[in-house]
Chains A and B, each alone.
Chain A
Amino acid sequence: MTAESTPALVQSADTDGPAQAGPSAARGPRARNTKAYLQYVAGKIAGAVVSLFAVLVTSFFLFRLIPSDPVKQMTGGRRVSAQQLESLRHQFGLDLPMWQQFTNYIGDALTGDFGTSYQFHAPVIDKISEALPATLLLTGTAYVLYTALGIWLGTRTAWRNGSRSDRFNTAFALTLYSVPSFWLGLLLIIVFSVGLGPIPGLFPTGGLESGGETGFAYVVDVAHHLVLPVITLVAVGYAQTLLVMRSSLLDEMGSDYLTTARAKGLRDDVVRRKHAVPNAMLPTFTLMFVNLGHVVAGQILVETVFSWPGLGGLFYSALSVPDLPLVQGLFFVFATAVILANTLADVLYPLLDPRVGR
């Protein structure tokens, strides 16, 4: 997306700049650039809005394909009269023709109303906002940790390219990257929660809190519950950042400006931090935003394995019913998060790298 819009913008900036002669020349190019940038931002935001609408439409039609009858699922095998079934259908708007259901759905969704969950008999938006903080806490913590770890290790391995520590770190990261996250979670539970042989159960098997704690004790309790899921997410997640950081830094390693910096007599450390890393950050930056979008989508598997009361676990429970309004709402929230993060990345990109979009 970014690459496509680049040429036009670059061209306009180039032709406008030198052509501006006379009194306004001093601030001309800059003002033009700002205008071009604002146009670019507006384009990106318009694109995001179109994508959001597409997601809304898709989530409606995709989940209508589930063959089972939601009302039968709701009553869960209890004996109910045909009349009761009919009134339930009416209550959830399932007796309306498809197109009317669709327009109602779009209209409601635009006002932030995703209907009532079949499963919890509560507004979907409430269930989602209840579960959101738990997910943000878990995946947000993990995100910060694995991004930092990935960048740090990626820089180190690239800088010591070919050394024993590079080979070991890369191989280790690749191995962890190939491990299914839910399996690692289960193993960690067996070893550190249930206890294996001499190792006692150190951490709780799941959930967010033990209950009954307040104040500082509550914070410690939640942190205690966070340890294993966060370790799982970080272990599986940091490899990608490491590999991207490593390869983009390797691309920069042979550059002339690094030779120049060294020739100036700068310490190796300074050459790395001040010259090489900032230039190599761009691909990592893109990946960071892609991952940021997935922070909200959470980790369905890890949350399920650790019974974490977040969006991922909610999605899993909604799918097994299937609880249509909840699934639709969550699907929309997940996709929205990714779209917003991508748009943010597109908007910030030209500010971080003058070669893009200017």
Chain B
Amino acid sequence: MTADTNTDLDTDLDNTPVPPPAAKSARALARARKRRSAARFWREYRTHRSGLWGLAGLVVIALVALCAPLLVGADSQSVTDAPGGALEAPSGEFPLGTDQFGRSVLALLVWGARVSLTVGLLAAFLCVAIGTVVGIVAGHFRGWYSTVLMRVTDWFLVMPTLVLAIALATVMSRSLWTVILAIGVTTWPTTARLVRAQTLAVESRPYIERARALGGGHGHIMQRHVLPNVMPLVLAQTTLVISSAILTEATLAFLGLGDPTITSWGGMLQDAREAGAVSAGDWWYLAPPGLAIALVALAFTLCGRAVEAVLNPKLRVAR
């Protein structure tokens, strides 16, 4: 014991004059390594043509959502002073026609992009955050709490997701946050299972044992060693979860469980159905929102698959 502490002190003393430049260079090294691996990632990603298409689509949609007030005007959602007549067919003034209140469908479509992206991103973030924490904890600790956590995960996995999300959205008040919560809380188990499997694989590697032998606590090992190694998988999973979250959001809004004061694509479809657009054959009102949902979901799926293919060497070989 004493000998150990002595040597430790010795090395510390030896190192004292050195630290500043050494620490700096270590950080610089780490930064350079990160930059290199990011560049490698991008080089690999670039070879996936469908992934590039997905990325391009996302950039366009994100720009449209951000610039919505500039593109179509801030007052285009107002029901009271709508510019057109009810359910007009597409014309020069309204490229996609009008809804039952005389609002331009194109303008509503542009505004709806915001809701879809916000809910998709936040719900996916929530889902992946819960899944990652549960997965890492369940994989790191052995014994009864791991068992309990996995039981809870299995239980959520067994629940029909949409049914549970609908039930939650019904129970809570109507708002965007409710929808985000309902989606996030019901979709995390798949991520948790994936992350747990990866955690178990990481934890069996020798460097975890080394970290433990050097006195690394549970928190240290989970944060500094397991989490960085699980991150790539989590990133790919997030992208894939976003597209399903966007679909679920549209579904909930279509069932009338979304926020009625906000224009969303699913809500537009519900409005269209209620206005009798189906039996009247008003395709210009019904087709665009669904197409937009499909495009955004597809874009995220393409990106997610490309990220997955880049990060998962097994898939890369198989390709």
Q: What residues of chain A have their CB less than 8 Å away from a CB belonging to chain B?
A: 1, 51, 54-55, 62-63, 65-67, 161, 171, 174-175, 177-180, 182-184, 186-187, 189-191, 194-196, 205, 247, 250-251, 253-254, 293-294, 297, 300-301, 304, 315-316, 319-320, 322, 327, 331, 334-335, 338-339, 342
Contact = CB atoms under 8 A, between A and B. Distances in A.
Contacts of B278: 186, 189-190, 194, 205
B283 interface: yes
B163 A334 contact: yes
Given A62-B167, A62-B171, A180 B302 contact: no
B286 A183 contact: yes
B311 interface: no
A319 to B, nearest CB: 5
Nearest to B170: A319
Given A190-B281, A335-B158, A335-B160, A178 B247 contact: yes
16 contacts: A54-B155, A55-B155, A65-B171, A174-B298, A175-B298, A178-B295, A179-B293, A186-B269, A189-B278, A191-B283, A194-B280, A205-B278, A300-B162, A300-B163, A319-B166, A334-B160
Interface residues of B, number: 45
Interface of B: 50, 154-155, 158-160, 162-163, 166-168, 170-171, 243, 247, 250-251, 254-256, 266, 269, 272-273, 278-281, 283, 286-287, 289-290, 293-295, 297-298, 301-302, 314-315, 317-319
A175 B300 CA distance: 11
Contacts of B247: 178, 180
A189 B160 CA distance: 27
B168 to A, nearest CB: 8
Among the interface residues A177, A205, A254, A339, which one has the most CB atoms of the partner chain B within 10 A?
A177
Contact of B250 (A1, A67, A180, A331): A180
A164 to B, nearest CB: 14
Contacts of B159: 55, 335, 338
Contacts of A338: 158-160
Among the interface residues B159, B251, B295, which one has the most CB atoms of the partner chain A within 10 A?
B159
A294 B160 contact: yes
Contacts of B295: 178
Contact of A178 (B50, B170, B294, B315): B294
Contact of A196 (B162, B255, B266, B283): B283
A294 B317 CA distance: 34
A183 B281 contact: no
Contact of A51 (B158, B163, B302): B158
A66 B173 CA distance: 9
Main secondary structure of the interface of A (DSSP, over half): helix
Nearest to A316: B255
B243 A178 contact: yes
B254 A187 contact: no
Nearest to A176: B294
A253 B255 CA distance: 44
Contact of A190 (B269, B283, B317): B283
Contacts of A178: 243, 247, 293-295, 297-298, 301
A55 B158 CA distance: 9
Nearest to A337: B160
B37 to A, nearest CB: 25
A66 B158 CA distance: 23
Closest 10 CB pairs between A and B?
Answer: A183-B290, A178-B297, A178-B298, A250-B318, A65-B171, A179-B294, A297-B160, A178-B294, A194-B281, A334-B160
Contact of B158 (A171, A186, A339): A339
A111 to B, nearest CB: 23
Given A174-B298, A189-B278, A334-B160, A180 B293 contact: yes
Given A190-B283, A205-B279, A175 B294 contact: yes
Contacts of B243: 178
B31 to A, nearest CB: 36
A179 B302 CA distance: 14
Given A175-B294, A196-B283, A183 B289 contact: yes
B171 A66 contact: yes
Given A183-B290, A301-B254, A177 B170 contact: no
Contacts of A179: 290, 293-294, 297
A194 B273 CA distance: 14
